[in-house]
Amino acid sequence: MIQYAPMRVFDWQQVEREQLNPMLARRVIHGEKITVARLELRKDAVVPLHSHVSEQMTMLERGALRFVINGEERILHAGEVLDIPPNAPHMVVALEDSVAVDLFTPAREDWIRGDDAYLRR
C-alpha cells in the first residue's frame, strides 16, 4: 500500500512574518517540491536583480508592480498572474503598496538555507 504524507492546512495569519527590510515582508510555506510566499511590498520597495533555478508564478492580490525580466518591462496589476521562467534575471519595483503571492517550483532551497541576503538590504 502506498504511504502518503499527511495533509497540511496553513493560515497565512499563523505563518511567521519576516520583516526582510523596512519596505518588504514575507510569509513562507515550504512543501516538498514547492515554495509559496506571501509578500507585502511598500510603495517604492525594490527586489534587486536576481535569478533562481525555480520557475516562479506571481499572483498580485493588491497594488501594482513593475517587473523587468530579461530586460523586458511589464507592469503587473491586481488580479493578474505573471510567469517567470527558471534562471531568468529579474527585478521588481512596487509602484503602490502591494501584496503578492509567489509560487516557486522546485522549492526555494536558497531561502531554506537562508541564502537570501539580496532581499534583506
Per-residue pLDDT tens digits for 48-102: 999 999 999 999 999 999 999 999 999 999 999 999 999 999 999 999 999 999 9
Nearest CA to 41 out of 20, 11, 55, 59 is that of: 20
Instruction: Return the amino acid letter for 3.
Output: Q
Q: What CATH number has the domain spanning 18-119?
A: 2.60.120.10
Contact 60, 77 (CB under 8 A): yes
pTM over 0.75: yes
The residue written with cell numbers 538590504 in the block is: 121
Please state the domain extents for the chain.
18-119
- Outline where 1-121 has alpha helix (H): 109-113
